[in-house]
Structure 1
Amino acid sequence: MIKSSKYLVLKELELFDCLDDRQLEQLSNQVQSKKISKGQFLFDHGDHISDVFIVINGSFKIGRYTSNDKTLIKEIAYKHELIGENFMAEQSYTKDFAQALEDTEVYSIPISFFKNLLERNATLCQGVTEILIRKMAQLESRMSNFVFKKAQSRIVDFLKDLAKHKGIRIGLDEVLVNHGLSHKEIAYITDTSRQTVARVLGDLKRQNIIHFSTRKPHKILIRSTLNLS
């Protein structure tokens, strides 16, 4: 029997390693593929929660609007990551937003089906729980870094993370990153200021550790990840 393209994609995802062929087939029949253009929202604050999403290609910034009309960037969701896993909190409406940083594709899974799948598969339930725990640990680490690490170290750590998830290797040790973020958004993620981000990136450029042009600042060439410090 010829399997659908959705089935083949889902079979490659580590999260669904625990599903047998029948369960994978059922899942592939439920998912819907969605294309989200750069800058568009997958969901926004106040939207009804009806699906959980898996990033198939591209990346999203996940954030929340604060009471003083500012934006808090909580995380960047990359390829094969789960978005909207807070459906387990029994909320009817999302408090977050997910905005595409580039042209993206996601698979949407109806929450009712996904919950039923979790109830029938303890290993999958454990996998989703581990994702939640890991994200909580990342937020805790971010708070710790804010207290104990200097601004430059937090920005450098962010560049290393970008290189790991979004980098395209060029030559022996150079990595090109097209992150799609403004200095202001990087500041939100690293808990710094826009001016500090501009200063640190400028210093790294003058030291020939990274390179970017003023016309395309969202593209950064990291000369050597080993020299990032």
Structure 2
Amino acid sequence: MELKGHERCVSRVPIFSHLELDELEEVFQRINHQSMKKGEYLFMAGDRSSSLFVIHKGKVRIYRLNDNGEEQLIRVLTHSDFTGELSLFSADEESKSYAEVLEDAEVCRINREDIYGLMQKYPNISIKIIESFAERLNDSESLTTNISLLNSREKLIEYIRTHTKNDKLVLTMTKKNLASYLSMQPETLTRTFKKLENESVIKKINNKSYDILK
């Protein structure tokens, strides 16, 4: 059996990727598909959701607002990324985050009851969900530490260090979103990139790509 379209999307999600083809087909049968336009929201702060969302096409950004109403970007989701996992275990808790569609998107939604049924039938799904929790908690703690302890240059250096592959940095989000993610003003981020260029730490290829020189 060959998987197609949304089924391939599900097969690439870490919590399902270990399943056999017939098991993936069972997951696929429990999925609701929806098309969403740029500017729409999967959920907003204050919503109570009971679904896991998997991004098949497009981009979705997850962010929060601080006490001053300023945005703090958490992550940008693309093909096969997922969100809403916390709602699976805290049904009555209101969301503290916003999930905004950045590009027209195709989204797969799986309800809590269906996820519970799959976890009972395939226990490894539970393990994969716990692993994803641990990974995202580690990312969140690292981000919090960087925001509170590092200056602008150190934040950007740390981001470059953890996102460089083969001596090349390719940005997966706009610089405006990156500035929000690193908790700095866009102008500060632009100046910091320029300083690193002047110091021959990086070499600009285009607006999204840089060679890492040292």
AA at the equivalent of 2:44 = D
For 2:123, the aligned partner's letter is A
Paired residue for 1:139?
Answer: 140
Aligned CA-pair RMSD? 3.0
User: Judging changes above 3 Å, is the alpha-carbon distance between structure 1 residues 68 and 40 closer, same or farther for their aligned structure 2 residues?
Assistant: same
CA contact (8 A) 1:33 1:106 kept: yes
Matched, 1:221 2:213: no
What is the aligned counterpart of 2:191 among 199, 209, 226?
199
User: Match of 1:30?
Assistant: 30
Three-state SS of the structure 2 residue aligned to 1:49 is coil
Count of residue pairs brought into register by the alignment: 211
Quick one: structure 1 residues 104 and 137, their matched pair in 2 at CA, closer, same or farther if it must change by over 3 Å? same
TM-score normalised per structure 1: 0.75
Distance 1:89 1:48, change over 3 A: closer
The corresponding residue for 1:19 is 19
Residue aligning to 2:53: 53
Change (3 A) 1:57 1:173: farther
Moved over 6 A (4+): 172-175
Q: CA separation of 1:123/1:152 partners in 2, compared to 1, >3 Å: closer, same or farther?
A: same
User: Which is richer in strand?
Assistant: 2
1:45 Cα shift?
A: 1.7
Structure 2 CA distance for aligned equivalents of residues 56 and 160 of structure 1:
28
Residue 154 (1) aligns with residue 148 (2): no
Gaps of 5+ in 1: 165-171, 213-218
Identify which of structures 1 and 2 has the higher relative contact order when contacts are C-alpha pairs closer than 8 Å and 6+ apart: 2
What are the ranges of 5 or more consecutive residues in structure 2 without an aligned counterpart?
A: none
Distance 1:114 1:63, change over 3 A: same
Shift of the alpha carbon at 1:74? Answer: 1.9
The 5-angstrom pairing of residues 71-90 of structure 1 reads 71-87=71-87, 88-90=89-91
